[in-house]
Amino acid sequence: MNQIATLATPITVAPRQQQLTANDIRHRVNVIQEVMQAVMKKDVHYGIIPGCKKPSLYKPGSEVLLATFQIATSIEVEDLSTEDAIRYRVRVIGTHSPTGTLLGEGIGECSSNEGKYKWRKAYDDEFNATAENRRRVTFGKYKDKQVRTDPADVANTILKMAKKRAQIDMTLTTTGASDCFEQDIEDLPPEYLDTQREPASREPAELPAYPAEAFANNLPAWREMIAAGKNTADEVIAKVQTKGRLTAEQIKEIRNPPRDEAPADANQEAAE
C-alpha cells in the first residue's frame, strides 16, 4: 500500500478563481521534495535515466503524490482501435477529494502499433510459417526473428499503459511536479532516449597511470622498435598512452635511451 508522508504544514487547495500565492507554490514544491525523501524509493516510485537531468516518475510514484495531495481521479476512455490495431486514448481528471474542486486533467495514448507491442520474438518454424508482411528480422546486438503480435493479446496492456500515461500527466500537471520529474521517459525506445539526454562531456575520462612494472618490462621492446625504425618515439608514446598515463620521466626514458643501449650497428659505425 502506498504511504502518505506526515507533513509539518497541512496541504490546502485554493478555492475556484483564487490565485495561489508565491508561498503556496513554494510550499507545494517543498511538500513534493519532502515526500520524495521520506516515502519514495528509487526504481519503485521513480527511476533515473542515465544522462537525464530529472528522474522519471513511475505509476506508484504518481499514486503517492495523488494520495498526499488528496486528489481523486476519474477516467474517460476513447477507443480508437482499428481492425489491425488496438489503440486507446485516456483522459484522467483530478479533483480535490474533500472539496470536489477540479484541479486538472491529463491525457495519454497507447497503441499496439508501437514497436514493443507490435512485434515479438519467434522461433524458426513459426517465423517461416508467417506471411512475409507480418514478420521481420532485426539487426541489433543480436539478429532476431520477429512476427506480428495478435493485437487482442495485448489489448489490456495497451489500455493500462494509456491510463498510466494519462495519470502521470495529470499528476505532474495538478501538483506542479514537473520541476522534479520527467514524464514517461522510461517508455521511450532507446533510440529516442538519446534526444532527451543532456549532452555528454566531450572530455574523455582520465586514464589511470601506466603500471610501473609493465613499463619496465615493455621498455626494452619499445626501444628496439624505435631503433629498428619500425615506430618513432612519438608513435610509441601515443600508443602506450591509450592504455595508461605516462609520467614525464617515463616519456623521457622512451625518447632518450641510455648510450650503452644504442644499437650495435650504430656503435660499430661510430667506431669505424
Range ranked top by mean pLDDT from 103-107, 173-177, 232-236: 103-107
Report CA torsion sign: 257, 261, 265, 267: positive
C-alpha cell at 226: 624505435
Provide the pLDDT for residue 268.
42
What is the tens place of the pLDDT at every residue in 1-60? 444 444 444 454 544 446 667 777 777 778 888 888 888 998 899 888 776 778 888 999
pTM of the model: 0.60
- Residue 172: name the closest of 37, 2, 39, 28 by CA: 28
What is the tens place of the pLDDT at every residue in 234-262? 888 888 888 888 888 888 888 887 765 44
Taking residues 136-156, what's their average pLDDT? 88
Where in the chain are the domains? Answer: 212-271
Taking residues 68-94, what's their average pLDDT? 95
